[in-house]
Structure 1
């Protein structure tokens, strides 16, 4: 009897604090204009971005230092930011010295592109689409949303674990909550696509090039898997934090049809001029494949690759 009373006392106190926290944390999302609960302030977002910036750079082989190319990326990125709901926010755009095709953003306005991704773009509009998508993650405060949802999920799970007093059921609740968080992350990706189309349109870029870049990504993924003799079908879509490329392409094309710029910017010539001379493929400091040999000068090793093998230097 005493334990039951203690459980309900704990529940009432927790619910009261949760309701109080809800009203104190309700904010307007700058990108959507909608009210939302956020347990992370913009100052905390900036602090997290600064703290994780150097760590992320070291994980991806360092910064690709090419001044003219970096200035080019900065000019496009800052132009897109000026069309967003946070035109005065300082963004930091970084080119990572990696042949891996990737782009991502940290809270606080830190946006990253690998040189591998830049090489896959065919024109300036496609590059702008990638930058606009990552800017959308920042203006949409997606990191803060993810943090808030995680805290809320943990709170509910803890309450139920006390009331139910059943470890196996508690594990099931935790698993279901995890799936819900992952599903919300997919929604954030779609929202970032919508924001990207908005910013591209305002800046005058050809919005359909964002979809064309995603098609290139899809074809590249299929080709890479074939070269590695892997299954080209997506088998983990349910638990993936991102929608598959084909779904993303359809979503972006649907958005693009709603907008029409009279003279959209493609910028193929200037893009090719700016990336001329950019390193392609693996960085020499990570070792290179030359003919049928792998050579790593830093480690002073060299060996011949077996025939009919696909070699991936990670």
Structure 2
């Protein structure tokens, strides 16, 4: 066996080994075969496909507001390796998602469900930290293998890239992270909120509210729960992590501004479906 084949085999075996290892929630430097530059390039490619499926809200006030919240949260993140973007998409399911490279999308349904800026920021902080810890490419490498992910980075299989973008982040599906990755994103999200001046109790109140509404609004919350399984243990871990933080005064933002933004979002209506076109 030549050296090249031995190296490839070694990388594949190491990838499989790491797939079975739990994530240390305090350590963002997890094993990753994809470089930061490659991840950024892959995220840019995914973003093009995702924005073909979602309607990005074209409202400067709304987009500017979510952008400001996102930028404020980044001041509390442990690492900002990517040029993050923050966009609102017209989707009434209660969710937000971030893709490799830092492109972050906030559903209108999340803004409608939140009772405060801190609650909305809590979900955004969670998603930002999936990117900070580079969970997306780590999970993709574990599920699909390094060689396939590298093909996507190099642009060698655009059809598959579009398919995976739909399955993992688009309306057809949503990436499911491991339980330990979700726990780490919660842990880092609480820390990020605290450092950025947001009361991390917003994460606890929002998760508790979702848990209580899960029976009465199953369809609206299905996407959130399918991608971020919410358990009593997970809520308790967030409560415990908040309890260990030193007391601090908070900058709640402008409640009137949040109410105005939420009222504007409540008036948005999804555009009619485009008529099917055929070839002649």
Report the TM-score, using the length of structure 2 for normalisation: 0.71
2:32 matches 1:38: yes
Whole-Å separation in 2 of the counterparts to 1:40 and 1:143? 10
Q: Which residue of 1 aligns with 2:162?
A: none
Whole-Å separation in 1 of the counterparts to 2:259 and 2:204? 23
In structure 1, stretches of 5+ residues that fail to align are 1-8, 156-181, 288-297, 300-314
Cα deviation for residue 192 of structure 1 reads 0.5
Whole-Å separation in 2 of the counterparts to 1:13 and 1:89? 31
Give the 5 Å matches for 1:137-156.
Answer: 137-150=130-143
Cα deviation for residue 275 of structure 1 reads 1.0
In structure 2, stretches of 5+ residues that fail to align are 149-174, 276-280
Whole-Å separation in 2 of the counterparts to 1:92 and 1:34? 21
| Paired residue secondary structure (1:111) | strand
Computing the radius of gyration from Cα coordinates, the structure with the larger value is 1
2:213 matches 1:224: no
Whole-Å separation in 1 of the counterparts to 2:193 and 2:129? 11
Q: Which residue of 2 aligns with 1:246?
A: 232
**Cα RMSD over matched residues?**
3.7
Q: Which residue of 1 aligns with 2:278?
A: none
Whole-Å separation in 2 of the counterparts to 1:280 and 1:214? 21
Which whole-Å deviations, capped at 9, do the CAs of 1:276-306 have from their partners, x for residues lacking one?
A: 542327725248xxxxxxxxxx87xxxxxxx
Contact 2:39–2:100 (CA under 8 A) maintained in structure 1: yes
Between the two structures, name the one with larger relative contact order (CA 8 Å, sep ≥ 6).
2
Report the TM-score, using the length of structure 1 for normalisation: 0.64
Change (3 A) 1:40 1:272: same
Whole-Å separation in 1 of the counterparts to 2:176 and 2:79? 27
With 242-251 and 69-78 compared, the bigger mean Cα shift is at: 242-251
Higher strand share: 1
Whole-Å separation in 1 of the counterparts to 2:146 and 2:102? 26
Change (3 A) 1:253 1:33: closer
The partner residue of 1:76 within 63, 69, 73 is: 69
Whole-Å separation in 2 of the counterparts to 1:88 and 1:153? 21
Which whole-Å deviations, capped at 9, do the CAs of 1:89-122 have from their partners, x for residues lacking one?
A: 4210010011121111110010011111011111
Whole-Å separation in 1 of the counterparts to 2:193 and 2:28? 22
Contact 2:98–2:105 (CA under 8 A) maintained in structure 1: yes
Whole-Å separation in 1 of the counterparts to 2:227 and 2:112? 25
Whole-Å separation in 1 of the counterparts to 2:262 and 2:107? 16
Which whole-Å deviations, capped at 9, do the CAs of 1:131-171 have from their partners, x for residues lacking one?
A: 1111101110001211332356999xxxxxxxxxxxxxxxx
Q: Which residue of 2 aligns with 1:303?
A: none
Contact 1:125–1:265 (CA under 8 A) maintained in structure 2: no
